[in-house]
């Protein structure tokens, strides 16, 4: 993935995040689930790229938390817990990797 492609994917990820909030507010849980899964796929591609940045790892953590929210709403608590734990694991690694970065100190 080129840097231009990575930048576009970053903005697409956050656009998906906004769409998910809108879908939730509009009472469209199935659409929200679809959008959140698309966002997760984008974040996973960014992190797996040749030059992953820590900010993208944070985005992946956010994605796991969003998936967890969707799964809770669907009543799938076991999978939601797994997703929340995956997001927390990333957040903890980020917090430990740079104690001077307040955004990563959850």
Find, among 47, 35, 37, 36, the residue nearest to 9 by Cα: 47
- pTM, entire model: 0.73
pLDDT of residue 43: 82
Model pLDDT for residues 7-62, shown as the tens digit of each residue: 667 667 667 767 776 666 667 777 778 888 888 888 888 888 666 678 888 888 98
Cα gap 76→86, rounded to integer Å = 16
Distance of CA 94 to the CA centre of its chain: 14
pLDDT of residue 10: 63
pLDDT of residue 4: 43
Selected residue with higher pLDDT from 28 and 83: 83
pLDDT of residue 81: 96
Report whether pLDDT(2) > 50. Answer: no
In what helix (H) or strand (E) does residue 10 lie, and over which residues does it extend? helix 3-25
Tokens of 61: 């953590």
């Amino acid at each position: 993935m080129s840097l231009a492609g990575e930048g576009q994917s970053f903005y697409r990820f956050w656009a998906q995040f906004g769409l998910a909030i809108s879908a939730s507010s509009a009472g469209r849980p199935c659409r929200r689930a679809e959008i959140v899964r698309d966002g997760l796929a984008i974040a996973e591609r960014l992190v797996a790229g040749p030059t992953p940045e820590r900010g993208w790892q944070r985005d992946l953590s956010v994605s796991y938390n969003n998936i967890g929210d969707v799964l809770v709403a669907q009543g799938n608590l076991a999978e939601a817990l797994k997703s929340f734990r995956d997001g927390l694991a990333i957040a903890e690694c980020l917090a430990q990797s740079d104690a001077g970065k307040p955004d990563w100190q959850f």
